[in-house]
Amino acid sequence: MTPSAPAPTRAAARPPGRARPFAKAAAAAYRYRVYLLCTIIFAVMGAAAPHFLTPGNFSNVLKGTSTNLPAAVGFTIVLIAGQLDLSVGSAMTMGGILVMGLSPSLGWAGAFGVAVLCGLGLGLTNGLLVAKARINSFIVTLGTMIIVYNAMAIYCRGGTIPATTFALSDFLQRPVVDLDPRGAPPALLWLTLWLTPRNLVSLAVMAAAAVFLRRTPAGRGLHLMGGNPQAAWYSGLHVDRYVIGAFALSGLLAAVGGAVVAAGEAAGSLKLGENSLMTIVAAVIIGGTSMEGGKGTVVGTTVALVALTALINGLSCLGAGHEVQLVASGLVLALIILYDAYWLHRRQRRRGQRKDLLEELQARAASDPPAGRGSQGAPSAPGPGREGRSHG
Amino acid sequence: MSPPPPAARRTRPPAGGRVFGALNVLGVYGLVGGLFALGCAISREFISPDNLMNALRAVTLLGIVAVGLAFVTYSRHYVDLSIPGIMALSGTVAVWALKFGFVPSLAIGLAVGALVGLVNGLVIGYLRLNPIIWTLAMMSLLSGVIRWAYAGRQIYPDKATAAGRAFLELYHHRLLGLLPLPVAVLLAVAAGGYFLMRHTGYGARLKLTGSAYEVARLTGINVRRAVAGAFVISSLTSAAAGVLLTSFNKVGAVYIGGGYDFRTITAVVLGGMTLAGGRGSIVGVLGGVAAIALMNNVMSLVRVGQFVLGDFQQNIVQGAVFILVVGINSFARRRTGGDDA
Amino acid sequence: MEDIGVALRMVGVSKRYPGTLAVDDVNFDVRAGEVHALIGENGAGKSTLMMVLAGAFDDYTGQVCLGGTAVGLHSPAAAKAAGIQMIHQELSLAAPLSIAENVLAGRLPRRAGLLDRRRMLSETRRHLARVGLELDPQTPVEEISLHEAQLVEIAKALANAPCILVMDEPTSALSRAEVQRLFEIIRRLRRQGLAVVYISHHLSEVLQIADRVTVLRDGRKVATEPVAAVTAAQLVERMVGRSVSGLCARRKTAPGAEKLVVEHLSRYGFFHDVSFTVRAGEVLGIGGLSGSGRSELARSLCGIDPVDAGRVLLDGRPVRPGSYGAAIRAGLGYLTEDRKTQGLALRMSVAENVLSAVIPRHCRHGVYSPRRGGGLLARLIDRLSIQPPGPGRIVSALSGGNQQKALLAKWLAADPQVLLLDEPTRGVDVGAKVVIHQAVAELADAGRSVVLISSDLPELVALSDRIVIMRQGHLIGQLDPAEASEASVLLAANGEGKLVPA
């Protein structure tokens, strides 16, 4: 969007370099926007919604977060690699239904194993189609999303598969340190009520993914590939393998997430992944993962997911129905991406500027301040962006 | 000097070009022919006029929406995932607006749909946000708004009023006693879309925008306006289809239009429009719609002993065909030395 | 063959593109611990020669020896393995990633399967020290300045322990101080025994930093001299030569009234305080080195890029800034520098491209009849001898010269009052060049104004009535028309010529 330049008859536009007093604060706000958002939501909800800031409700928020977290982590990984995986919702559904459907015959371990393997298989299929057949990831995952969803619909005959025993569900939902809510001191309740095996699995997934992305060469290679595939190729990375791996992980994690949720809820249903896609996409983007690839963190995704879940939860505490929650999360996503676009636009505008010319302007403005607006401070250093050349 | 491409640059064109060149030209109508032949082979019922009419009736609304979506894909902005939401919103608002009269209710329904399209167009065209993410967000917003506005209930056209009765009649109305209204609308929309794309200045500008956005911009074309326009067109056709579908279902509800997002993308892509933009035609899109009609019809006629292809199975086939066709298309394009989708 | 101390030797290397011989039987060698500059005009073959070295082609002919052993450079991986590292003009860094990850891309140190952060940072610091950078290695690349990013790019290349480093126009966007810093680093590398190939247009820099200089012209090597033994003027002479340009110099008609007036135009950071006038029937040439801001000036003039100060008057009326569509309607036109990504829609036909700037003209009540432009199209195809002449041909199938002609046809069809041309004959064969020049001359003779931005010196000199020079974002002056020559343009662009006020 080209900003409107000043009309020719008006006095010359202010040369850059005037130190904007809030520039640093604005930049910091942009970088940590997800934490800011989370804090705001908690503050607002805590003040406005009854029963929001109670250990029990907090535990609900975390449970809601952990439902979508593994799939969101997978989506983050794929997005960092520069691709889109729309099949995460269906993969979750698949995990849930397979686990519940197969547990009577294969036992829980067997059922989990099969569910996880199927998730892996889905991911590998996606990855191969994108990397080897070179089909756009949007198309591939849209197609596999439909296929998997309908396959599961056939398998469970359109209904829900309830659990036959509730022991596992109980185990998953019960806090590891089980205290009597009435007798225990609140501080301890805050700390322990949400420590359920179900949440811990999600946390473990997140932690493992975080370590992978931040601390392993493969994880960093993934970032490089998403950030500049050509540079990655030049550095000797097998780009195809990274793409396939990213999708495989995504499918695997989504299936795991779905399986754990279904086991915890003691029912596998087709609806499991339906609403999740929107929430997951919103959380990943709000959490700071770039749509271009190469940039993103699972911690950001997690915080964003907590924020969104808290928002929805808070709204329901306030008595608002399901619909308001949908509107709210859609709105938050919309606002965040608009905010992102604004910052990107600002950076783009300055791309390619020559420092010596700017310095010259500084010097000239400093030496004669006719308009009374001499420059103060150093010019904002232009970032190189991806291409740093100016034409002749 | 630009860095060399990943593969050592080839100076000879790839082999196998002619076969795939032919495939490109045949396009979707080859697929339609093939499906036709398959249908004849599978069942004698296939050829009967009733069956074929049914098949085509089933995709009339799909065709209307697909023509609109084609403009979005043509502009290289992928798809409009908020289509089901626009359909539901338009239909529901039209039912609500019946109290103002039959014709006003249609107008209001369409206007609301167009308004959503305008917002989409402004955000994606002018603010340059990612179309997939934005239209997903918009879909969620619309879904929530509809539920909120009607407190989760469905609303019914009031049979007691003339307007209500007219609305319920809308889908089944036959122009001049012969031509079903939805088909008439499809023909009008298709003709209009074809004309708009091939014979107007807007169409020419949109083609350039989709084919080479930067070049179009540097030719003085207002690319942002062109893209915004595409989303408005898409929302108008979705609104029209949504109103008709609501009339058919006799109820205004949030689930109207469900599934249309995937089916329309499939039709558009089957019809030869590539995601890369600037390529394809309305004729092709209609072919894609016909292909889907025949595909569904053929699948429903499959009867091997006890084995029948139900809804879910058909969807799976559709999903697989979707991936397959795009894959073949882009493979063929790459083989003939062109760019891939 | 004596190869002691010779790090690179290219013998009889040729590379042919369909239609042109870009590099013709070139011998080129570089010694260890030497900075060898490679100069020549655009199209002389420097880039292609270096691309051969980078492994971009699998079909070059000739022999390349590294350290005495013949190697086959048929892929970028082979080139890298052979110890050749290129620093391109477009940086190959991944912006969201940290400096460390970019420098050590593909070779991140590990310990027990995990990333060894400490080693990564310390190694990176070591590599950065080689180029004199003291940044925190964890800083994301998108947050550092362009100059620092370029140094990171160099550090990255050095981290691969090359024996040959090729730098392509490394100073285009650097300030004078930054250039000196870069030279310090290059000298240090030279002392360490690295062989450096330095490609540049900036003769003053070449004379400063290089040990030897090789001049290419029309794909052939013209001379290799030690830098101590040549002056800029002599180099210019070699670059420019006595090539028979085959151009028709225009009969210079007396220019008419003022058509385009540019007053104190600035876009902060790109060009500052540019003023000039163009008259009807006049061709104004703008000379300058890459990075001088000419294209940016043209784009801002036409409204493609924003304007921060100053104004543009066309026929006395101000041109609305920021809207290219309005500028075109007012009578401006800009033929872009890069025909493939900016000028032509490659997947569309010649007809569609040529008529793309005048769509409204052939619309009536919104209905577009391109057939109405058929006559115009046919005339242009004929006049510019676009081969093959079928208007339905897809542009990507045309040769470079014909593509450029199609691009020119597009703007001729728009019939602007003032046409700005940016490198109108880059990458174009001689036949097409002649046709294009003729068309430009005819345009001016018909009373239109032309602004010609070109690095092709014979073209600039032959076509222009007047030549102004831009350097580092400023319009520094005009060449005395009596003394306008290829040599004087080049010297002036390097800051050494004699100029009169514009």
**Looking at C156-308, which runs of residues are DSSP E strands?**
164-168, 195-199, 212-217, 220-226, 258-267, 271-279, 283-287
Cα–Cα dist C447/C291, whole Å: 31
**Is B46 within the bounds of a domain?**
yes
Residue of C72, C76, C63 whose CA lies nearest to C26: C63
Cα–Cα dist C25/A188, whole Å: 82
Provide the H-helix boundaries in C274-418. 294-302, 324-330, 350-354, 374-383, 400-414
What's the sign of the alpha-carbon dihedral A177, A181, A186, A190? positive
Chains that touch C (3 or more CB pairs under 8 A): A, B
Burial of B206 (0-12, 13-18, 19+ CB in 10 A): buried
Cα–Cα dist A388/C144, whole Å: 11
Q: Which residue type does B216 have?
A: A
Domains in chain A (CATH in brackets) are 28-174+191-345 (1.10.3470)
What are the residue ranges in chain B where pLDDT is below 70? Answer: 1-26, 152, 305-306, 335-341
Q: Which two tokens stand for residue B338?
A: 């062109």
Give kind and range of the element (H or E) at residue C64: strand C61-66
**Is B20 within the bounds of a domain?**
no
Task: Report, as an integer, the average pLDDT of C364-377.
Answer: 87
Task: Report, as an integer, the average pLDDT of A36-55.
Answer: 83
**Is B41 within the bounds of a domain?**
yes
| Banded model confidence at residue C147, pLDDT cuts 50, 70, 90 | confident
Computed over every residue of chain A, the mean pLDDT equals 80
**CB-closest option in C56, C88, C369 to B9:** C56
pLDDT at C393: 87
Chain-chain contact of A384 with C146 (C-beta, under 8 angstroms)? yes
Please give the tally of structural domains in chain B: 1
Q: Name every chain B residue with its beta carbon within 8 A of the beta carbon of A331.
A: 141
Domains C6-240 and C258-493 share a fold: yes
**Is B250 within the bounds of a domain?**
yes
Pairing assessment for the beta strands C114-115 and C449-453 based on DSSP bridges = unpaired
| Banded model confidence at residue A3, pLDDT cuts 50, 70, 90 | very low
Q: Are C287 and C293 in contact (CB under 8 A)?
A: no
CATH 3.40.50.300 applies to domain C6-240: yes
- pLDDT tens digits, residue range A150-205? 999 888 887 787 877 777 777 777 777 666 667 767 677 777 777 788 888 899 99
| Banded model confidence at residue A11, pLDDT cuts 50, 70, 90 | very low
CB pairs under 8 A between A and C: 196
- ipTM of the assembly? 0.85
Q: How many residues does chain B have?
A: 341
**Is B292 within the bounds of a domain?**
yes
List of long-range contacts for C43-46, beta carbons under 8 Å, 24+ apart: C43/C218, C43/C426, C43/C427, C43/C456, C44/C216, C44/C217, C44/C218, C44/C219, C44/C239, C45/C216, C45/C218, C45/C219, C45/C220, C46/C199, C46/C216
Q: How far is C1 from chain A (nearest CA, A)?
A: 33
pLDDT at C419: 95
Q: How far is C369 from chain A (nearest CA, A)?
A: 31
Report the CATH superfamily, name and number, of domain C258-493.
P-loop containing nucleotide triphosphate hydrolases (3.40.50.300)
Q: Are A77 and A219 in contact (CB under 8 A)?
A: no
Residues 6+ apart with CB under 8 A from A139: B269, B275, B322, B323, B326
Residue of C493, C430, C440 whose CA lies nearest to C467: C493
| B216 in contact with C, Cβ within 8 Å | yes
Q: Residue B37 maps to which CATH number?
A: 1.10.3470
- pLDDT tens digits, residue range C195-244? 999 988 778 888 999 999 999 887 888 889 899 998 877 887 787 765 44
Range of the domain at B220: 27-331
Q: What's the number of CA atoms in the CB half-sphere (13 Å) around residue C348?
A: 30
Domain boundaries, chain C: 6-240, 258-493
Q: How many residues does chain A have?
A: 392
**Is B17 within the bounds of a domain?**
no
pTM above the 0.90 mark? no
Q: How far is C251 from chain B (nearest CA, A)?
A: 31
Q: Name every chain C residue with its beta carbon within 8 A of the beta carbon of A216.
A: 110, 113-115
Chain-chain contact of C310 with A6 (C-beta, under 8 angstroms)? no
- pLDDT tens digits, residue range A205-249? 999 999 999 888 888 889 988 888 888 877 778 889 999 999 999
Largest Cα–Cα distance in chain A? 86
Q: Mapping DSSP to helix (H, G, I), strand (E, B) and coil, where does residue A41 land?
A: helix
**Is B308 within the bounds of a domain?**
yes
Portion of chain C with pLDDT greater than 70, in percent: 95
Highest mean pLDDT among A125-134, B12-21, C75-84: A125-134
- pLDDT tens digits, residue range C34-76? 999 998 876 678 888 888 888 878 788 888 888 878 888 888 7
Burial of C69 (0-12, 13-18, 19+ CB in 10 A): exposed
Cα–Cα dist A65/A206, whole Å: 12
Peptide bond into A6 cis (omega under 30): no
Q: Are C73 and C63 in contact (CB under 8 A)?
A: no
- What region does C305 belong to: left with phi over 0, alpha with psi -120 to 50, or beta? beta
Q: Mapping DSSP to helix (H, G, I), strand (E, B) and coil, where does residue C123 land?
A: helix
- pLDDT tens digits, residue range A272-324? 777 788 889 889 998 889 888 888 899 999 999 999 998 888 888 877 777 77
Cα–Cα dist B335/B321, whole Å: 21
Highest mean pLDDT among A129-143, A171-185, C383-397: A129-143
- What region does C18 belong to: left with phi over 0, alpha with psi -120 to 50, or beta? beta
Mutate to test the interface with B, among A139, A315, A346 (most CBs of B within 10 A): A139
Chain-chain contact of A357 with C76 (C-beta, under 8 angstroms)? no
Cα–Cα dist A297/B1, whole Å: 35
DSSP per-residue string spanning C320-351: PTT-HHHHHHHTEEEE-S-IIIII--TTSBHH
**Is B16 within the bounds of a domain?**
no
**CB-closest option in A1, A140, A230 to B3:** A230
Chain-chain contact of A357 with C270 (C-beta, under 8 angstroms)? yes
